[in-house]
């Protein structure tokens, strides 16, 4: 007789939905499908030869150290590099003790949820927001308070209303937000900082895409260097390689870092030390800024190709964001058209996208979709958008 696993499951795992995008990626993985679904960096940007040299160099130079257990916070040399880079670029005053290396930013989200949340604690999120953050936090069964995301950023008045509830932290992606591609304005950042200053609420500022700005000037962080009750998340997944799963937590609040470190120690002891050595060696022997400049030039070209094709092929009434960086743009369909209902029809035309539903906490059959422009060449982008344009014109006629 088979065991009834359902009877053994925790409330937390029952409350956590499987990744919608992962299931979409499987459906869109056939070679003739043009996929705008995954948030994938373009593999042509991976510095494979340089990383191979780093692999060989760290094994030769450090020997058994790269194969041994290590400290929970991460390789000291890598944390020193991160601190120095953020001090130089953003004017912060960090040391290696302000940084924990994580297994990608996703682990950072998981640790934050474990450390700060009990069942029914409040979390303020953008509406819409990063679906994998919702998935990570859902394990702790919180109450989500979504706040409308405008073209300027999270709505300050909506944030103040949300904070009337018992809230533990506010989660936001101010730079090239996932899924919308929007960036918070300088004025909006100042308002949010003023609202959060002095409150017993943690600001979690997720910044995986901030280095990928291809238009305009870099804006200051909302919390980092300005709010003691803040956490900044970063990653090398978008600038070096995602496969090594090397992200990091930055905070000037040592008390928060202490508990995050305890949670990490309980979860995996430490992030893959071999990957940390390789990433650090690559950073020491190569010009990261020059490498990122090449990525930005590539993504700017691809983003423009997608926007030009949408201008050409999408019917009137379809709106979309025009990002200044990052990896995504956000499409809003005419009223009455559900993106979820179009997904299977799009696959029939051999093109894939992510319907907006999983980016919301409490809404279904929404008229929005996320498109990724970084993982296809310009010709493929144009053909995929042409197919989507045909589908959207047909849907508009049906409505």
- Per-residue model confidence as pLDDT tens digits over 143-154: 999 999 999 999
H/E segment holding residue 101: strand 99-103
pLDDT over 80 (residue 25) = no
pLDDT over 90 (residue 336) = no
C-alpha neighbours within 13 Å on the C-beta side of residue 241: 17
Length of the chain measured in residues: 399
Instruction: Quote the tokens at residue 354.
Output: 């992510």
For the chain, state the CA radius of gyration. Answer: 21
pLDDT over 80 (residue 59) = yes
H/E segment holding residue 99: strand 99-103
Q: Find out whether 322 and 364 touch, Cβ atoms under 8 Å.
A: no
pLDDT over 60 (residue 35) = yes
What mean pLDDT comes out for the span 209-216?
96
C-alpha neighbours within 13 Å on the C-beta side of residue 273: 20
pTM of structure: 0.95
User: Residues 310, 356: one domain?
Assistant: yes
Count: domains in the chain: 2
Q: What is the mean pLDDT of the chain?
A: 95
C-alpha–C-alpha distance, residues 153 and 184, integer Å: 4
Closest CA to 303 of 239, 214, 236: 214
User: Residues 200, 68: one domain?
Assistant: yes
Strands (E), 108-262: 122-127, 143-150, 153-154, 167-172, 202-206, 230-235, 246-250
What mean pLDDT comes out for the span 257-282?
98
Q: Find out whether 310 and 109 touch, Cβ atoms under 8 Å.
A: no
Domain end among 285, 308, 323: 285
C-alpha–C-alpha distance, residues 210 and 3, integer Å: 47
Q: What is the DSSP letter of 138?
A: H
Neighbours of 349 (CB within 10 A): 16
C-alpha–C-alpha distance, residues 266 and 254, integer Å: 18
User: Residues 356, 374: one domain?
Assistant: yes
pLDDT over 90 (residue 26) = no
H/E segment holding residue 87: helix 76-90
User: Residues 200, 107: one domain?
Assistant: yes
User: Residues 170, 215: one domain?
Assistant: yes
User: Residues 190, 221: one domain?
Assistant: yes
CATH number, domain of 330, equals: 3.90.1150.10
- Per-residue model confidence as pLDDT tens digits over 2-23: 788 888 889 999 888 777 767 7
User: Residues 381, 253: one domain?
Assistant: no
Q: What is the DSSP letter of 65?
A: G
- Can you tell me which residue has the tokens 């997944």? 237
pLDDT over 80 (residue 30) = no
The interaxial angle of helices 273-285 and 76-90, nearest 10 deg, is 50
Model confidence at 397, pLDDT cuts 50, 70, 90, reads low
- Can you tell me which residue has the tokens 């804006």? 219
What mean pLDDT comes out for the span 288-306?
98
Residue 194: per-residue pLDDT: 97
Domain end among 228, 259, 285: 285
Residue 6: per-residue pLDDT: 86
DSSP string, 267-334: HHSSS-HHHHHHHHHHHHHS-HHHHHHHHHHHHHHHHHHHHHHHHHHSPTT-EE---SBSSEEEEEPP
pLDDT over 50 (residue 399) = no
User: Residues 65, 19: one domain?
Assistant: no
User: Residues 65, 159: one domain?
Assistant: yes
pLDDT over 60 (residue 393) = yes
Q: Could you give the 3-state DSSP secondary structure of residue 187? A: helix
Residue 19: per-residue pLDDT: 74
What mean pLDDT comes out for the span 289-301?
98
> Rounded to whole angstroms, what are the CA distances from 317 to 236, 272, 306, 331?
38, 48, 17, 11
C-alpha–C-alpha distance, residues 329 and 287, integer Å: 29
- Per-residue model confidence as pLDDT tens digits over 216-245: 999 999 999 999 999 999 999 999 999 999
What mean pLDDT comes out for the span 339-344?
92
Residue 28: per-residue pLDDT: 64
Q: Could you give the 3-state DSSP secondary structure of residue 169? A: strand
Q: Could you give the 3-state DSSP secondary structure of residue 15? A: coil
User: Residues 124, 153: one domain?
Assistant: yes
User: Residues 199, 135: one domain?
Assistant: yes
Domain end among 285, 309, 329: 285
CATH number, domain of 160, equals: 3.40.640.10
* Cis amide linkage into residue 297, ω under 30° from 0: no
What mean pLDDT comes out for the span 169-190?
98
Q: Find out whether 209 and 237 touch, Cβ atoms under 8 Å.
A: no
State the Cα angle at 163 between 143 and 198, rounded to 5°.
130
pLDDT over 80 (residue 29) = no
Look up the domain containing 190 and give its range.
49-285
Residue 1: per-residue pLDDT: 59
Q: Find out whether 207 and 173 touch, Cβ atoms under 8 Å.
A: yes
User: Residues 150, 252: one domain?
Assistant: yes
Residue 34: per-residue pLDDT: 95
What mean pLDDT comes out for the span 83-104?
96
Least confident of 6-10, 127-131, 288-292, 393-397: 393-397
Closest CA to 249 of 266, 271, 218, 269: 271
- Per-residue model confidence as pLDDT tens digits over 36-52: 998 899 999 999 999 99
């Amino acid at each position: 007789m088979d065991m009834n696993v359902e009877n053994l499951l925790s409330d937390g795992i029952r409350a956590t939905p499987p990744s919608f995008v992962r299931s979409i990626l499987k459906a869109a993985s056939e070679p003739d499908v043009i996929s705008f679904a995954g948030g994938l960096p373009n593999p042509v940007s991976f510095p494979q030869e340089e990383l191979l040299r780093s692999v060989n160099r760290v094994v030769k130079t450090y020997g058994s150290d790269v194969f041994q257990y290590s400290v929970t916070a991460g390789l000291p040399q890598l944390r020193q590099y991160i601190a120095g880079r953020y001090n130089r670029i953003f004017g912060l005053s960090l040391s290696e003790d302000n940084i924990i290396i994580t297994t990608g930013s996703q682990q950072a989200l998981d640790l934050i949820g474990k450390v700060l949340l009990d069942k029914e604690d409040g979390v303020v999120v953008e509406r819409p927001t990063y679906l994998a953050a919702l998935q990570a936090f859902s394990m702790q069964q919180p109450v989500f308070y979504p706040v409308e995301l405008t073209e300027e950023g999270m709505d300050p008045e909506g944030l103040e209303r949300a904070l009337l509830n018992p809230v533990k932290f506010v989660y936001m992606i101010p730079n090239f937000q996932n899924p919308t591609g929007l960036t918070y304005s300088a004025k909006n950042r100042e308002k949010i900082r003023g609202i959060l200053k002095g409150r017993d609420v943690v600001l979690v500022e997720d910044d995986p895409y901030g280095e990928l700005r291809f238009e305009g000037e870099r804006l200051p962080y909302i919390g980092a260097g300005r709010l003691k009750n803040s956490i900044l998340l970063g990653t090398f997944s978008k600038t070096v390689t995602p496969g090594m799963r090397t992200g990091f937590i930055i905070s000037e609040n040592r008390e928060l870092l202490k508990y995050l470190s305890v949670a990490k120690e309980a979860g995996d002891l430490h992030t893959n030390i071999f990957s940390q050595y390789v990433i650090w060696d690559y950073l020491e022997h190569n010009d990261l800024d020059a490498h990122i400049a090449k990525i930005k030039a590539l993504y700017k070209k691809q983003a423009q190709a997608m926007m030009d094709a949408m201008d050409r092929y999408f019917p009137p009434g379809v709106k979309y964001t025009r990002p200044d960086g990052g990896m995504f743009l956000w499409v809003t369909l005419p009223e009455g058209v559900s993106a979820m209902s179009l997904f299977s029809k799009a696959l029939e035309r051999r093109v894939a996208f992510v319907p907006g539903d999983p980016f919301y906490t409490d809404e279904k059959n929404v008229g929005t979709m996320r498109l990724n422009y970084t993982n296809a060449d310009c010709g493929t982008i144009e053909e995929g958008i042409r197919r989507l344009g045909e589908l959207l014109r047909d849907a508009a006629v049906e409505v």
